[in-house]
Structure 1
Amino acid sequence: MFIIWGKKQKRFPEGYIANWCSVCHDIREFKVTRIHLASHVYYISFSKGEPVGHTFACQHCGAEHYRNIDQAFHTASESKPLDLLIEETNPNCMEIWHEDVALSEKMRQRPQELTPAERQHLLIQPLYHLSYLAEKQGSNITLTGLLTGAGAIVLGAAISGLLIPLVDHPLWAAGITGVSIAGLLYLSVSYNRNRFMRREVYARLKPLYLALQPSEAELNQTKITLKPTKLKIGDWLNARALLKFLSDSPAAAQR
């Protein structure tokens, strides 16, 4: 008999706060959720667990990022108009983010005056903001992933079953089976990863990146800059796929 136990995240609503969103490149309303880590047996937990951090979800673009538990902030108990939320939860936000606000205005009004360093800052900041989603996606073993893996094993075994009669040596047969399964698993993982990037990352980057019109060289430089961080979003970012996604969007067609 196997006993499934370990730690699981439990989420508790904390409130709302006005903050800067690097994806929208504007002050937005965020929903704050407190994250606890609790012990479980068969995924059932009977305690709240220990608080470990908070997630902040932008109510405009849906991007979510993580903060450690020791970072202080004040929230409102309910959603309200942005100007009132700023006054209650973050009255100094325009001063705190004045450089980003100024850069955002420059991007929208005088994009041709942006320096290469400013463009790179605008390209990379939203990726840091979205990195939590990619890390969470990479650590989750979902039912879809398990079914996909099982399907790859079955299909790989079926393919090898057709090819094995054509070879004489059992090692060749084992090799064919292993390569078939590994190849199908790789294709499955790549497909699911690319779909995640299109739906969860590229779609959220689209408004900002359409305004910037980045080149492939700039996006490749962004990947290089992200590489030392070892963030999954840097590894998964595909410059050509992102540019194609942007070019296929209706907004790009109107330009």
Structure 2
Amino acid sequence: MKIICPQCGSEHVVMESDFLLRCPYCDSRIMVETPAGTPAMVRTAVTEESVRRLFPPGMVVSMVLRFFPYLETGEGSSRSRIPCFSQPWQELDSYTPPDGDRLVFDESMAAPGDIMPLDRDLLESTGGRLVLHPFFVVMLRLQGYSEGMLVDGVSGRLLGEVPLKEDGRTDDLSLEKLFLTVLALGMLVSVPAYVLGSTLDLSEIPRFWFSMATVLFMGAVLFLKWKSGR
């Protein structure tokens, strides 16, 4: 498939799934014509900060906003939308995104890499209007590997469940284990610390508080070790 840049007149060979391109000669954006006419873009309604709050602290590695093409057919109550992107996304197989606020799409609204590749064969055979829906693609840091998840950019809905660590524990459970470890170690060192306080000349400082300070110091060391290993 070939197109002509309307700005500089250069000719480009493009993939059938391309929708929005950038001319390498004049840097202008080129929208590849679709048989359904001018597409619509759904306005993003949630922020990156609200998406991050869906996951435990420190789990999100990266987050990008991508627009997924849907093909809309019918009118009113009979209106339906079917996925029209060429790459398979299991999370979206049975998901129908909400309507949201729509804008008439033009080249300034998104960069070429922000739009998922089209299934142009489906578009040409089915007809209808192309609607670009926003999703956040979120990469999560797990133990030994990374995993991607989708969040609807209009409703803020998380598609799927937040995965557990490889050993089946979340960060909250790890923190609980850390607390129990510190408590057990505190009980073990309280007696030696009390004896040490009796040996030293600590008449101005109660030996009890000396013991507690020792326990707190050990707890801080263990917490920093746990924090650095996340």
**TM-score computed with the length of structure 1 as normaliser:** 0.26
Q: Which has the higher helix share?
A: 1
Q: Which structure has the larger Rg?
A: 2
Q: Which has the higher strand share?
A: 2
